[in-house]
Amino acid sequence: MSPFSPPPGDGHPGMPPRPLPEPLPEPLPAPAPRPRREPQPRQASFAELGRPLGEVTFVVVDLETTGTRSSENEITELGAVKVRGGRILAEMATLVRPAGPIPPFISVLTGITDAMVATAPTIDAVLPTFLEFARDSVLVAHNAPFDLGFLRDACVRGGYPVPAWEHLDTVRIARQVVTRDESPDCKLSSLARLFRADTEPTHRALADARATVTVLHGLFERLGNLGVTTLEDVHGFTRKVSPAQRRKRHLAEGLPTGPGVYVFRDATGRALYVGTSRSVRSRVRSYFTASEPRTRMAEMVSLAQRVDAIACAHALEAEVRELRLIAEHKPPYNRRSRYPERAVYLRITDEPFPRLARVRAVRDGGTYLGPFSSTAGADLAAAAIHEAIPLRQCTARLSPQRPSAACALADLGRCGAPCDGRESPEDYARHVTAAREAITTYPALVVTAARERIAGLAAGQRYEDAAVHRDRMLAFLHGAHRLQRLSALTRVVEMTAAVPTVEGGWDIAVIRHGRLVAATTAPARTDPRPWVWAARASAETVRPGPGHTPCASAEETERIDRWLSSPGVRLVGLDGEWASPATGAAREVFFLRGQDEHRGSAGTVTPGRVRRPASR
């Protein structure tokens, strides 16, 4: 039967006729409409409603301390302001007597001296009052990890249970709602000016806490314009990840899981950002799945179209490759290490009456101080040297045969006036020798003069002038310390070092004249010596040049020196002598440890990177 044939019984031959259908029954009556049921009211939970910011009690807290490490330093002042709905409910402020003396640098910064805290209560007596004051409140601080870290350590040392504080960080919020055009940075002083705080931050706890209250309310006003009205909204706002970021998670697929360097590139292949990680894939993936407080990084991710990665043997090789790639490509979203050629040095000139001069490169075997990251740091170091040693500060080229008129520094006793013949070349040479010794082996002459000057000014309550001399001394120590550390390492012809890995193997590095020339990892349960021999045999050949960074950038050599100073590193081979002067800058920095760690100082030395000085 064709598919188009009529159905059986409809006139087709040989088929019985189809019976007629039964008549349809009478339609049933339509049902009566049911009455409309109104939705029953339901009590929403607090989790659904959220806590309006105007109904939350906040305790804005600020601390002054003897340093930046909560495990080693102590609280010297505590200030807190309790606010709700834009109104101040209560305030709390007290000095705190630490167990040890307050470093002079901290006294200069905060104005808090040992005499002021002599009769103050200890933290054990203050902490219970603060815990009761902040009970059932949300803590707020500017750079909250700093203040909360000190409070948690104080609770642990005092035997109190550490509260699970819910907190907000005004720095983190400001980075997302304050633009660079409005404020150059997110420091408390800058934000206080932006929001026109009545109280100016002065590095005193209560004043800084009051200024933070104004900043907090100003940030809340901006968040309200963005639809953020509850505390839960604020937490979500600081953790938010845009859908555009999430859609780029596939860029992390296929990247190495071990240490290495990653390069974000745009559609044209230009390098946007270079970074390093011990696990490249997880770090790159975090750019697309985790909150990024830096607005420039969110902008970079929006432009990125692919991510390239270079697998490395261990973390040191990754750090060095990162520095080299940044210096080569100068990615726009890398702020640091982009221009190593812009380093500044102080050089003792080669002329009958030498002086200090700023230069951009080391081209000979003369005496250099640095490198400094800016001319301001170099000028501070030069001022510290001139305070202790009467080197001439004029820029004219002098000759003993043609004397010239002396400047005002000669009348002030700050220059021997070799220009008009008062000081012979032989007498002036003593100052040059002292300056060379201060730079290369014995900085105590400059440091002692600066300390005496700081002590005298502080005794006369001229703290701002004392801070200027403090900054000069630290800038000089920073330059001398870098010079001596780098010179000690770059003098070594070849060095092989190894550090044990968690798996039981060895991370091996070969360094020649301060440059990483080979890196490898010996697996666990194998003899590492063949790996060492192979690394040496395949290492890059370098030719030394003048200066204390002849074969690599100063930052690369510093990274290597830091790695060599880390726990567990063992020297496998050494061709040459690796030593620092026993009376050098490392000793001065070691004695200043914990004292030069303060906020807002120029040219600070990082004590955590210092080894104990070794004799020659």
**Hey, what are 438's tokens?**
């201060």
Same CATH fold assignment for domains 53-238 and 243-338: no
Closest CA to 75 of 119, 112, 108: 112
Average pLDDT over residues 203-208: 92
For position 604, what pLDDT does the model report?
A: 40
Cα distances (Å, whole numbers) of residue 421 to 23, 392, 434: 138, 13, 21
Out of 12, 142, 167, 203, which one is annotated catalytic? 203
pLDDT of 549 over the 90 cut:
no
Concatenating the DSSP letter of every residue in 432-483 gives HHHHHHHHHT-THHHHHHHHHHHHHHHHTT-HHHHHHHHHHHHHHHHHHHHH
What are the boundaries of each domain within the chain?
Answer: 53-238, 243-338, 342-398+410-481, 488-609
For position 270, what pLDDT does the model report?
A: 93
For position 283, what pLDDT does the model report?
A: 87
d(CA 197, CA 110): 20
Residue 139: pLDDT band with limits 50, 70, 90: very high
Closest CA to 610 of 602, 597, 599, 600: 597
As a whole number of Å, the end-to-end CA separation of the chain is 111
* CATH class of this structure's domain 243-338: alpha beta
Cα distances (Å, whole numbers) of residue 608 to 113, 471, 594: 25, 19, 9
* CB neighbour list of residue 258: distance below 8 Å, 6 or more residues apart: 278, 279, 280, 311, 312
Average pLDDT over residues 153-161: 89
Residue 402: pLDDT band with limits 50, 70, 90: low
- Tell me: the pLDDT tens digits for 559-578? 999 999 888 899 999 998 88
pLDDT of 223 over the 80 cut:
yes
The percent of residues in the chain predicted with pLDDT above 90, rounded, is 36
For position 495, what pLDDT does the model report?
A: 93
Residue 357 exposed, middle or buried by CB count within 10 Å (0-12, 13-18, 19+): middle
**Cβ(144)–Cβ(169) under 8 Å?**
yes
* CB neighbour list of residue 579: distance below 8 Å, 6 or more residues apart: 488, 614, 615, 616
Global pTM value: 0.59
203 is catalytic: yes
Concatenating the DSSP letter of every residue in 499-544 gives EE-TTS-EEEEEEETTEEEEEEEEPTTS-SHHHHHHHHHTPPP---
* CB neighbour list of residue 101: distance below 8 Å, 6 or more residues apart: 114
Lowest mean pLDDT among 90-94, 235-239, 283-287, 457-461: 235-239
For position 3, what pLDDT does the model report?
A: 36
* CB neighbour list of residue 111: distance below 8 Å, 6 or more residues apart: 202, 203, 204, 463
CATH superfamily, domain at 53-238 = Ribonuclease H-like superfamily/Ribonuclease H (3.30.420.10)
- Tell me: the pLDDT tens digits for 409-424? 666 666 776 776 677 7
Average pLDDT over residues 294-306: 83
Amino acid at 304: A
Sheet holding 494-500, edge to edge: 515-522, 506-512, 494-500, 570-575
Closest CA to 520 of 504, 490, 497, 552: 497
- Tell me: the pLDDT tens digits for 248-269? 888 888 898 889 999 999 999 9
- Tell me: the pLDDT tens digits for 357-389? 888 888 877 888 888 888 899 999 999 998 888
Cα distances (Å, whole numbers) of residue 324 to 177, 421, 495: 34, 50, 21
pLDDT of 13 over the 50 cut:
no
For position 593, what pLDDT does the model report?
A: 61
**Hey, what are 283's tokens?**
């770090």
d(CA 556, CA 482): 12
pLDDT of 539 over the 70 cut:
yes
For position 194, what pLDDT does the model report?
A: 92
- Tell me: the pLDDT tens digits for 481-535? 888 888 889 889 999 999 999 888 999 999 999 999 999 999 998 999 999 999 9
SS3 state of residue 10? coil
Greatest mean pLDDT among 72-76, 210-214, 287-291 lies in 210-214
